[in-house]
A and B are shown apart, each in its own frame.
Chain A
Amino acid sequence: MSFERVETGCRVIDEKVGGFRRGAIILVLGPPMGGKRNVCRNFIARGLRLGDGCIVSCTNATAEQEHEEFKRILGSDADKFLSEGRLAYIDLFSATIGLPLEERQYIKRIPSASDLTSYNVALRELLLLMQRKELKMRLLFDSVSTLLLYNPFQTVSRFLHILFGKLRAMKVTSLFLLEEEAHERSVVVTIMGMCNGVLRVKSENGKRLIKYESETSRMNWVMCD
């Protein structure tokens, strides 16, 4: 059985394992400053260039701060993608730092990192908008570690279980970031078990290295452009 593949924005993954499977849930692990956010943002940027609908969920930055990062990669196109609803943000951070929760059509703000139902409802609305435009979809969740900071592990695993089911059903190719070293081994293993693939990113002597394992493909540490 062959799966539909999606380009990842990282040439070496596309060449070696043919990209990610469409609708796969991939856990992105790696030490701080290892460059995993860059890999993730390239994945979203590539999707936008290819015409996909992309949803970025941020727990450590406001939607505006995150959008600046995409402007750095995509230039003024980032604004265009946002205004036409191909790029959307779910901001779980603004409330945490006490900013007003001003909403725009493609920027949703969640009352707190503990209000996971509100996250689901915002996501549902964005997925519906993108599905109506018949877009293929990508999602970035940065990061699961913040959720674990504010919620018991059981809450987070229940949330992810239900969320992953929805994303798979709608074939949303998704990256979930986790600060591996901040959590107990059992936590990481449990979340890993719920995903379809694990992407590891680290930095050595100024070079970025990645490793990818999934149910169907495997790639050992290689240098990434």
Chain B
Amino acid sequence: MAVDDKTLTTEDNRAFEAGLDALEMPALLPRPGPGVVFVRSVLPPLVAVVAFIGLWQLAYSVELKPSYALPSPRDVLQTFSQTVRDGRAVDAISISVSRGALGFVASLAVGTVLGLAMWRSRWLRAALGPFVSGLQSLPSVAWVPAAIIWFGLSDAAIYAVVLLGAVPSIANGLLAGFDQVPPLLDKVGRVLGLSTVGRIRHVLLPAALPGYLAGLKQGWAFSWRSLMAAELITYSPALGIGLGQQLNIGRELNAMDLVIASIVLILLVGVAIELLVFAPLERRILRARGLTIARSR
């Protein structure tokens, strides 16, 4: 029995639905042009750097400290460009960055395996969780004396310190990533009939990626810091001169310009890796998920 006279035809409904879609589609902000990016993101830190150097110059001019303790920006720039010209800077960077990269890759492997094992085994997590979290807050420089006693003044000692610094962050980051996966998504994987491996590969790992990446970022920061601490303390001709060792030479020679130039170099490497490696990776991962923080205005 036909009761309905107001029923829509299929065609009507398709047009109706298409109209709804057009009205309700979330509005996406257009990507800002290069000029806007410059004014918003590049200019402010440049202004801050110029202002900082200005203050420094002022402190130098009024002789806040004797000039051997507080050299002028110009002196530091000269030392800096000298270390660049005679190849010391490049050598130190390549020694430290290759150590840092190798140490980070090793930490990545160990930390990921540890994180996965702790995620799979409730017992292991209960047993190791507090220690891993505790290690995360232990300054890794505390390991340097122990590492030197175990491994002598060698690369092994440096890598031991780097690993102890970075592994806990990476393992914890992976765990946090897994913990934050909404249970509903795993249910979806089961409903679709994915195997256990398929669920890990297609649902859990991609869902955990933002947390894992945050752990990697922190892991890199920790391994870079640990590396500098280790290089600063372990000095031996066999080890070559990394950035930390160059910094220590500056201290021993009482050459504040070399000390500041080395600090700036360490900072620059850290910023460069953040900007060239992690920032683009993070942007890609977050943008794909629609998680980029909405710009205020």
Q: Are A and B associated in one complex? A: no
